[in-house]
Amino acid sequence: MLRRFEDGEADLPEFYQVIEESLEHLRPWMPWVAEHGPETTREFVAGRAERWESGQEYTYAVTLDGAIVGVCGLFRREDTPEDGREIGYWLHPSATGRGLMTRTVRAVVEEAFRLPGVAYVEVVHDTANHASGAVPERLGFAVHRTRVGEPLAPAETGEDRIWRLTR
Ligand SMILES: CC(C)(COP(=O)(O)OP(=O)(O)OC[C@H]1O[C@@H](n2cnc3c(N)ncnc32)[C@H](O)[C@@H]1OP(=O)(O)O)[C@@H](O)C(=O)NCCC(=O)NCCS
């Protein structure tokens, strides 16, 4: 299931615990893990409602049997054209391997294309992050381009693959 984060701090203790349990699984690929702590998690949760209301980012808690097991966000970067959106995601390690994120991203893509003026959705991942790239591949995204930059997390090569699905 997908749901919004609760307004306020209702989700904070559970969400913090999920991140804590996922740290070593996320650290290779997610730059924010290096800064992770109670305060960064509090800020993340506290900022969701405002970003949702403004249309800046729709952040979904991914749940299994009512428990939070990951996150999937639909957002637009400052330098992304108006008609583009990006999807980012992660799962608790115990929730991987069963197609949950592929189903989640399929649903979030449908939501994206319900927004007025959204023409395409992208997934961006380091070329070494095969599990991440397999998600858009399963969903029929096409490789749009490759971008060479700096590695931001320990396992990254710095080369990003950008997958795109057009409405
Ligand atoms: C990226 C990430 C969410 C992908 O998780 P995942 O479990 O591989 O993806 P899914 O939930 O879609 O599950 C796919 C797996 O379930 C299997 N599966 C089982 N039933 C399935 C179904 N009905 N549909 C699709 N896949 C299914 C697939 O074969 C695949 O397993 P495999 O890799 O062993 O072949 C996860 O690896 C992760 O959290 N990584 C760390 C954070 C990260 O890198 N985030 C992305 C940054 S760009």
How many whole angstroms separate alpha carbon 31 and alpha carbon 132?
Answer: 15
pLDDT at 8: 86
- Cα of 121 vs centre of ligand 1, distance in Å, is 19
Q: Among the residues of 32-72, which ranges form H helices?
A: 38-54
pTM tops 0.85, yes or no: yes
Q: What residues line ligand 1, using a CB cutoff of 6 Å?
A: 25-26, 29-30, 89-91, 96-102, 125, 129, 131-132, 134-135, 138
Is beta strand 84-91 parallel, antiparallel or unpaired with respect to 120-126? parallel
Å from CA of 90 to ligand 1 middle: 9
Question: Which residue is closest in CA terms to ligand 1's atom 23?
Answer: 99
For ligand 1, the distance from its centroid to the CA atom of residue 36, given in whole angstroms, is: 23
Instruction: Write down the pLDDT at residue 7.
Output: 84
Give the Å distance between the CA of 101 and the centre of ligand 1: 6
Q: How many domains does the chain fold into?
A: 1
The pLDDT, as a whole number, for residue 25 is: 98
pLDDT the model gives residue 98: 97
Whole-number Å distance, alpha carbon 54 to ligand 1 midpoint, is 30
Weakly modelled stretches of the chain, pLDDT under 50 = none
CA-wise closest residue to 94 among 134, 73, 64, 136: 64
Question: Which atom from ligand 1 is nearest to the alpha carbon of 92?
Answer: 39
Listing DSSP states for 88-154 in one string gives EEEE-GGG-SSSHHHHHHHHHHHHHHHSTT--EEEEEEETT-HHHHHHHHHTT-EEEEEEE----ST
Query: What is the largest distance, in Å, between two alpha-carbon atoms of the chain?
Result: 40
Question: Which atom, in ligand 1's list, is nearest to the CA of 91?
Answer: 39
pLDDT at 63: 98
What pLDDT does residue 37 have? 98
Q: What is the pLDDT of residue 100?
A: 98
Q: Domain of residue 147: give its range.
A: 2-166
Nearest CA to ligand 1 atom 27: 99
Q: 41: domain CATH number?
A: 3.40.630.30
Those residues whose C-beta lies under 8 Å from the C-beta of residue 145, and which sit 6 or more positions away, are: 162
pLDDT value, residue 90: 98
